[in-house]
Amino acid sequence: MLLSKLAIVDSTLREGEQFFKSNFSTSDKIEIARGLDQFGVEYIEVTSPRASPQSYQDCQKLVQLDLQAKVVTHIRCHLEDAKIALDTGVDGINLFISTSQILRQFGHRKSIEEIIDIATEVISFIHQQNPQAELRFSTEDSFRSSLSDLLRVYLAINKLGIVNRFGVADTVGIATPHQVYQLIQNMRQCFCEDIEFHAHNDTGCAIANSFTAFEAGATHIDTTVLGIGERNGITPLAGLIARLYTLDPQTLNNKYSLSYLHKLNQLVAEKIELSIPFNHCIVGEAAFNHKAGVHTKAMLNNSRTYEAINPTDFDLNRSILINHKLTGKNSINHRAIQLGLNLDNFQIQAITQTIKNLADRQKMTLENVDEILLSSQKNM
């Protein structure tokens, strides 16, 4: 499980366009694509150029930006979709087709044999037209598909010797980490090609499932900034980064521009006209705030006591909150030192109790605390 081998396929400009608040203009897409490239994602996935005339034009413009990231598009396993995608000059084409019984019955109405035939035709056509195009073949709704059907499809396509990687999609967010691990391991035992994982967050398991897929042998993980996407969205980029950071922060720092992550999330939040959730991993307002006295005492001694992630790696700051009834004498003393005050232990204890008593009855601000500390110095 080497972080250096992992590739992020960011789908903010494809899956993210399906978010109910999204309505990206061409200029928005260009700005977001440049931001994703600055952060360092390996792939930027964009909406199918067949979706609309503007989608086609936007796809072409994004390809022409001369980004370090590969620009790939996500299309149905249709010959016409493939022809239009090839016309845009994208670096790669991500094909998908439903394999679950429910989506085959109420969606495309194809049998497993027909799925294999269609996929074979489209994949062969793309390769004939552009042998350099990177190809991913993905089954939609993988976790409501039978394992035998999935492996039958994957192995048939693998025999073509054309596809660069195979995709697994938890399309309705139904999978558990255990199920993800089992499926990815089964696939890894059947072929050596790369495996991409796409996790929806309907049951809150997207980050856990994506990390588990990586543990089991997946090489590519799909994300969006802020986790935006269809319904509750997919694995948030910051969430995946947070989970991976605890494994090997140095490799992650070398691989991605971590200090740009907050700005990237702010950019997308601005485009969809929503605030970053307070509890969002790393970039949320609450991420590095410490309040309880026991916590703040330990934090002042060693920040690793209550932080698994170092905010300075992301160009962020931690806050030691003292304007509340849970405050402790150590954090009050720390603030006194910051203000250049020289108060003894008895004074600090008395001031701490004063702040607690006041905070029980009213809302306190840092300015209120500072006034109490400064007035204590004057009364010495």
Question: Domain spans of the chain?
Answer: 3-272, 289-379
Does domain 289-379 correspond to CATH entry 3.30.2320? no
Give pLDDT, residue 296.
81
Domains 3-272 and 289-379 share a fold: no
Give pLDDT, residue 355.
87
Question: 138 and 96 in contact (C-beta within 8 Å)?
Answer: yes
Q: What is the pTM of this model?
A: 0.93
Residue 151: phi and psi, rounded to 5, are -65, -35
Give pLDDT, residue 380.
58
Give pLDDT, residue 36.
98
Q: In which residue ranges of the chain is pLDDT below 50? A: none
Distance CA 88, CA 64 (A): 10
Give pLDDT, residue 297.
83
Give, in order, the Cα–Cα distances in Å from 47 to each of 29, 58, 167. Answer: 11, 9, 17
Count the neighbouring beta carbons within 10 Å of the beta carbon of residue 102: 12
Catalytic residues: 295
Give pLDDT, residue 122.
98
CATH superfamily of 3-272: Aldolase class I (3.20.20.70)
Tokens of 272: 């969809």
Question: 95 and 119 in contact (C-beta within 8 Å)?
Answer: yes
Give pLDDT, residue 293.
77
337: exposed, middle or buried (C-beta count within 10 Å: 0-12, 13-18, 19+)?
Answer: exposed
Tokens of 231: 């319904």
> Computed over its alpha carbons, how large is the radius of gyration of the chain?
25
Give pLDDT, residue 331.
86
Which H helix or E strand runs over 361?
Answer: helix 345-361
Give pLDDT, residue 2.
83
Distance CA 226, CA 277 (A): 9
* Residues forming beta bridges with residue 72, ordered by sequence position: 45, 92
Q: How large is the angle between the packed helices 26-39 and 53-63, nearest 10 degrees?
A: 40
